[in-house]
Amino acid sequence: MNEAQKDRRAIAGRASVVGIGTLASRVLGLGRDLVLAAVFPRAATDLFFVAFTIPNALRQLLAEGALSSAFVPVLAGIEAKDGKAAAEAFYAKLRGAMWIVLIAFTVAGVAAAPILCELFASGFHARPGAFERTVTLTRAVFPYLLFMGLAALGAGALQTRKRFAVAAFAPALLNVAMIAAAFTLPSVLGARGYDPLLALAIGALFGGFFQVMAQGPALRKAGFTGGLSLDLRDPGVREVLRRIGPMTLGLMIYEIDLVLSRRFLSEAGEGANSYFYYAQRLCDFPQGIFALALATATLPSLSALAAKGDKVELAKTAAHALRLSLFVALPATALLVALARPVVVATFARGAFDATSVDGTTTALMVQGLGVAAVALVRQLVPLFYALGDTKTPVLVSGLDLLAFIAIALLTKDKYGHLGVSAAVSGSSMVQLVLLAIALRRPLPELRLRILASSAWKTGLAAVLAGLVAAFVAQAALRLPRLPWGASFVPAILGLASFAIAFIIVSRIVGNEEQAQLAAGLRRRLRRGRPRA
| pLDDT digit string, tens, across residues 247-273 | 566 556 666 777 788 888 888 878 888
Number of structural domains (the chain) is 1
- How many other C-beta atoms lie within 10 A of the C-beta of residue 128? 8
Residue 111 is assigned to a structural domain of this protein: yes
Q: Which amino acid is at 183?
A: F
Residue 487: inside a domain: no
| Residue 522 domain flag | no
If you compute the radius of gyration of the chain from its CA atoms, what whole number of angstroms results?
A: 23
In a domain, 235, yes or no: yes
Give pLDDT, residue 481.
64
| Whole-number Å distance between alpha carbons of 76 and 68 | 12
Q: Which residues of the chain have pLDDT under 50?
A: 531-533
In a domain, residue 229? The reply is: yes
CA dihedral 240, 244, 246, 251 (to 10 degrees): 160
Q: Examine residue 25 and state whether it is found in any structural domain, yes or no.
A: no
In a domain, 212, yes or no: yes
User: Is-contact 448 436, C-beta < 8 A?
Assistant: no
The alpha helices in 40-83, defined as continuous H runs, are 42-59, 66-82
Domain extent for 59: 44-165+200-253
Residues 261, 421 contacting (CB under 8 angstroms): yes
In a domain, 286, yes or no: no
Check residue 134 and give its pLDDT: 92
For residue 531, what pLDDT is reported?
A: 46
